[in-house]
A = this chain, B = another copy of it.
């Protein structure tokens, strides 16, 4: 039963590629604290059209509150409830047709969340779902605060692939993202002149320090010159930012027929340093930039016109 990458199904439904699921009487989505017998998933989630995921639970709550206002929903949205409150592994909020979920840091953490989210969308019979990761990243040769829309997620050898271990063997998967969605996002960015947005490759690593060539970890065995040589090779290969989830995100969403994008703000230029030195206030404003871009896309898709409010 090999798993191949396919075009999204015409039904618009999410593709779970697991013949065993149909044989299960109950499916407990353990890390989300949800399940098919304990929750009415179609009633709770059947109308979801946009799923936004990001590392930090606080940021994803702020995004749900922001979307609540952007969509003109009743109430001020400040008391948005954590749907996964019974688990402290992830946080999940909704605002109208938008689901906002935290995924923690790194490929293993996002991978657990995505397996359970994809099953949730399947059980809820959601259709035509767009999924976007809104994250933070280190930039390469671009100004801090720039927003990068990923065209291709690449690994630490700058290759567009994700290596998944299955029963001890390595399976190589494509990390293609939806090209039309990336272009649509770029078009939306032209309506937001107060920060630069660009399309580029995103490099995904398994850690923040040695894996990203930082000189400031507890361990460092290389020189500043070797670091810069590696980062310049990444730049020459088209990499414009570095984070820790995009290859697994692209591979899993692609295999399950979800139209997916990755939009990350850069917190610093890694060609200039390693430590994140900007103030909390500056970093908080940076983190709102991908949120504002995604809000513009969602408002456009829903026919609500351009966004007017800055996030807060």
Contacts and interface: CB of A to CB of B under 8 A. Distances in A.
A218 B257 CA distance: 12
Contacts of A127: none
Interface in A123-181: 156-158, 164-168, 171
A34 interface: no
Interface in A1-41: 1-3, 16-21, 24, 26-28, 30-31
Interface of A: 1-3, 16-21, 24, 26-28, 30-31, 55-59, 86, 88-89, 104-109, 111-112, 114-116, 118-119, 122, 156-158, 164-168, 171, 205-211, 213, 215-224, 226-227, 230, 233, 244, 252, 255-256, 275-277, 280
Contacts of A223: 1
Contacts of A221: 1-3, 17, 166, 171
Question: Secondary structure at chain A's binding surface: helix, strand, loop or mixed?
Answer: loop
A58 B208 CA distance: 24
A31 B244 CA distance: 14
A221 to B, nearest CB: 5
B168 A244 contact: no
Contacts of A114: 218
A57 B208 contact: no
B104 A105 contact: yes
Contacts of A89: 55-56, 105
Contact of A108 (B26, B109, B213): B109
Given A115-B208, A165-B156, A167-B227, A88 B16 contact: no
A161 to B, nearest CB: 14
Across chains A and B, which 9 residue pairs bring their CB atoms closest together, nearest first?
Answer: A106-B108, A118-B218, A18-B220, A20-B215, A167-B230, A111-B207, A115-B217, A58-B88, A105-B109
A160 B89 CA distance: 28
B104 A222 contact: no
A24 B275 CA distance: 10
Nearest to A30: B276
Given A106-B107, A165-B210, A168-B233, 14 more contacts: A1-B223, A17-B221, A28-B275, A28-B276, A30-B275, A30-B276, A31-B105, A56-B89, A57-B88, A104-B104, A107-B206, A115-B219, A116-B218, A165-B205
Contact of A168 (B18, B156, B217): B156
B109 A3 contact: no
Given A105-B112, A244-B108, A167 B226 contact: yes
Contacts of A1: 221-223
A210 B30 contact: no
Given A168-B157, A226-B167, A256 B218 contact: yes
A212 to B, nearest CB: 9
Contacts of A18: 215-220
A16 B220 CA distance: 9
B17 A219 contact: yes
